[in-house]
Amino acid sequence: MRLLAILTAVVLVGCESARAPGSPGSDETSQAWYGKTVDQVAGMNREADRLFQSGKADEAAALIEKGQPLVKRLLDVSHPTLGATEAASDLDDLYGRMLLSNRHYGWARLLFQKNLARWKYYQPATPETARRLKQAVDAIEECDRHILQ
């Protein structure tokens, strides 16, 4: 009987132990690193966009490249936040616009298509997600116009 009680206690203690990050049931979006990473990527997006607008495409591309692993980490959680999804979308949109400006229409379209899928199925739908969906559709149409020329 004592052995059964000990085994039961061990099982219960094991069930209540802290889960490893990334394991089912843990909410990584509430951890400090997550919010800091979202802010970092958003800042990188703003800076890369500023650089691109001022004709410094190489510097903007370097920031975009630096942001890719951060975006992957943000989106690898089970339920990414809206802020993380927007940061990823902004990075893809900027990269797509850069490719479009360099006449790499197929590659640009691929990035805009990612955003279309991202916003078409995002729940809950909001006016902002609808705006971003329309932005992706418009960008794809622009790529298609250039591809058909």
When pLDDT is cut at 50, 70 and 90, the band that residue 40 belongs to is: very high
At 90 the three-state DSSP class reads helix
pTM greater than 0.85 (yes/no): no
Domain boundaries, the chain: 31-148
At 56 the three-state DSSP class reads coil
pLDDT in tens, 46-82: 999 999 999 999 999 999 999 999 999 999 999 999 9
Place of tokens 């940061």: 87
**5 versus 47: which is more confidently predicted?**
47
When pLDDT is cut at 50, 70 and 90, the band that residue 96 belongs to is: very high
